[in-house]
Amino acid sequence: MFTTQAATVRVATFNVSMEALNYLPANTKPSGHELAQALRSNHQQIKNIAEIIQRVNPDIILLNEFDGNDNQHQALKQFLQHYLAKSQNGQAAINYPYFYQGPVNTGVATGYSLKQENTTGTLPNDAYGYGHFSGHFAMTLLSKHPINHDKVRTFQHFKWRDMPNALKPIDPENQKPWYTEHAWQNFRLSSKSHWDIPITINGDTLHILASHPTPPVFDGPEDRNGKRNFDEIRFWIDYLTPSKSAYIYDDNRQFGGLSQDQAFIILGDLNADAVDGDAIKAGIQGLLNHPRVLDPKPLSIAGKMQRPDNPNAQYHTAYWGLRADYVLPAKKQLNVLNSGIFWPTSNEESYKLIKDRAASSDHRLVWVDVAFSQ
């Protein structure tokens, strides 16, 4: 049952590149303290990230690639208090009294080689998700509305092999599985995690379905990352499909997906474009075409100008030329009022915030305004 007052809610996703390697010279091994040190140094890239968020002013925002290796969330609190809650370049300060920053698989050591039997594993390659330390490339959700922490479902430990018809990588040279049998039996599907985070908005519940699938590259002819990306996206397709979701279990061993009457928004850098790039496109196409999902297709003039010969460039969300970042609302329960991509053109004053990779991020903030259907 939805309330009679339908307030507009702005929901966003932003890969902020606030991860250790971004603050180090090339080929330098991170310690895991880099983000905390950068935050203490009044770092310009972080100030620019905060200014972008202040300019867009979302009510709910998922931050991808925000390192989360501190159980006390000190780095996140520093960002909230000393960057977002303080005016950046004349923009209005913004406060997020609620956040969720759960554990992820990046940098969590398996303890063994994924490729060679009876061999000790090493980071970053032999982690459940590529990372130099536990919590590298993590994610966090910020909200102006209360988060129901008791009802959050996480799927960090869900095993890839437990997905029906999982795309198990096969080495084409010998037609044998790429992962060792021990690794495959224990390997987790999520390269970071999959989260279902219920947020209460004026008495209504909105489920934020957050993830950050692995890039479908940095592998070989076995396409292990492409296949994992496909299945990480397919997880949400099945989660929204009652006839397919019975196999899904969360980290509390509760089974099943999201019931048909629940409002949701899928958020995150999904590292897949339905038209361009190296992803197995049937995965993201299946999600965009799911009967419960509405694709607002946010666009920008600057993206179109960057690649004028590509008719899909207006939808790109990464400067390297793909639509990677998504805000996908529930078709039945939510109305889309507006949408956009923060991508200033070169003649705008705010262009300095995204002028190059070092200014902020190689991704753009994507936002959608929604209201609960009456």
Distance (Å, whole) CA 21 – CA 175: 35
Distance (Å, whole) CA 287 – CA 234: 7
Residues 143 and 149 sit within 8 Å (Cβ to Cβ):
no
Task: Find, among 110, 108, 112, the residue nearest to 131 by Cα.
Answer: 108
Half-sphere exposure of residue 306: CA atoms within 13 angstroms, side-chain side: 23
The tokens describing 121, both together, are 């594993």
239 in any annotated domain: yes
Structural domain tally of the chain? 1
Element (H, E) at 40: helix 34-40
The predicted structure's pLDDT at residue 175: 95
CA end-to-end span of the chain:
9
Length of the chain measured in residues: 374
Element (H, E) at 227: helix 224-239
Distance (Å, whole) CA 71 – CA 52: 27
Residues 9 and 59 sit within 8 Å (Cβ to Cβ):
yes
- 3-class DSSP assignment, residue 84: helix
The predicted structure's pLDDT at residue 116: 83
4 in any annotated domain: no
Q: Dihedral through CA 161, CA 282, CA 277, CA 52, nearest 10?
A: -80
Parent domain of 307: 9-372
164 in any annotated domain: yes
Q: Dihedral through CA 152, CA 156, CA 157, CA 158, nearest 10?
A: 80
The tokens describing 366, both together, are 């994507």
> What separation in angstroms does the CA of 176 have from each of 171, 173, 180, 216, 222?
5, 8, 9, 20, 10
308 in any annotated domain: yes
Residue-wise pLDDT tens for the chain (374 aa)? 334 457 899 999 999 999 999 999 999 999 999 999 999 999 999 999 999 999 999 999 999 999 999 989 999 999 999 999 999 999 999 999 999 999 999 999 999 999 888 888 899 999 999 999 999 999 999 999 999 999 999 999 999 999 999 999 999 999 999 999 999 999 999 999 999 999 999 999 999 999 999 999 999 999 999 999 999 999 999 999 999 999 999 999 999 999 999 999 999 999 999 999 999 999 999 999 999 999 999 999 999 999 999 999 999 999 999 999 999 999 999 999 999 999 999 999 999 999 999 999 999 999 999 999 97
The predicted structure's pLDDT at residue 177: 95
Residues 214 and 191 sit within 8 Å (Cβ to Cβ):
yes
In the block, tokens 């009044």 appear at 42
The predicted structure's pLDDT at residue 5: 52
The predicted structure's pLDDT at residue 73: 97
Task: Find, among 356, 317, 340, the residue nearest to 15 by Cα.
Answer: 317
In the block, tokens 């078709």 appear at 331
Task: Find, among 278, 275, 258, the residue nearest to 214 by Cα.
Answer: 278
2 in any annotated domain: no
The tokens describing 373, both together, are 């259907």
CATH of the domain at 189: 3.60.10.10
SS3 content of the chain, % helix, strand, coil (to 5): 25, 25, 55
The predicted structure's pLDDT at residue 3: 41
3 in any annotated domain: no
